[in-house]
Amino acid sequence: MANLKLVDAFTDFVEESTLPYRQMMTYYNCALMEVETKFKVLNEQFSLFYDRNPIESIHTRIKSQSSILKKLQKKNLALTIPNIENNLFDIAGVRVVCSFTEDIYSLANSFLSQDDVRLIEKKDYIQNPKENGYRSLHLIVEIPIFLSDEKKWVKVEVQFRTIAMDFWASLEHKIRYKKNLSKERLDEIDKELLECAKICKTLDEKMEEIKTAFKKRGFLCGYKPLLPARVSRRCFHFVQAIAFDSR
């Protein structure tokens, strides 16, 4: 019944402000495309110069209408376009799943160093995990989207996880939420999930150790430039020139 009321409330809101709401959601979708493209470009650059791809997968999502309304109610805010834009920073979300923990910080630094990315907020749940064991690096950023007659800055939440972090978070959500279980059983599940989170952390650390050991021995391809930076850049421009001449 409560969910139906939320749906009805949002439906009424959308009907009353159809065009502004559609414009706002279009802006968020455009911002997602911009951020996703940035990470795809970074991944290609790593592949070109370092012979490796640090990104395993990229996922994007727009927050559901019911989730938007619930979050506004939690903040005691009225359902308006300005309240959504100025107070909810995770309407548009991007999740970047990386191979190693080191890749997370490397990609995040490269992303934030771009001159059209403004950092609004950073929460490092890798160094400081949540009480339930959740680990991830969260960034709230603002990026520009270029429209026919204006440039608009839009907020996007970016989450970085390793494969192990993403595995735990995805299954924890399926196991823990929306279950009609007693408090005692939920407490037991929470303890078991926390233990699983510790195992995943140990797994990430062990894989990082193995990668570092191989890197020191020179066995792991791609963790140092294939060519010196200046030579790499010259090769890249040379390939570009050949491709242009062959058109």
Q: What is the pLDDT of residues 61-111, one digit of tens each?
A: 999 988 999 999 999 999 899 999 999 999 999 999 999 999 999 999 999
Segment 36-48 shows an average pLDDT of 93
157 flagged as catalytic: yes
Percent helix, strand and coil across the chain, each rounded to 5?
60, 20, 25
Residues 6+ apart with CB under 8 A from 125: 134, 135, 136, 137, 138
pTM of the model: 0.81
Q: Which of 157, 172, 195, 209 is catalytic?
A: 157
**Strand order from edge to edge, sheet including 137-146:** 55-62, 92-98, 151-162, 137-146, 118-124
Q: Is 122 helix (H, G, I), strand (E, B) or coil?
A: strand
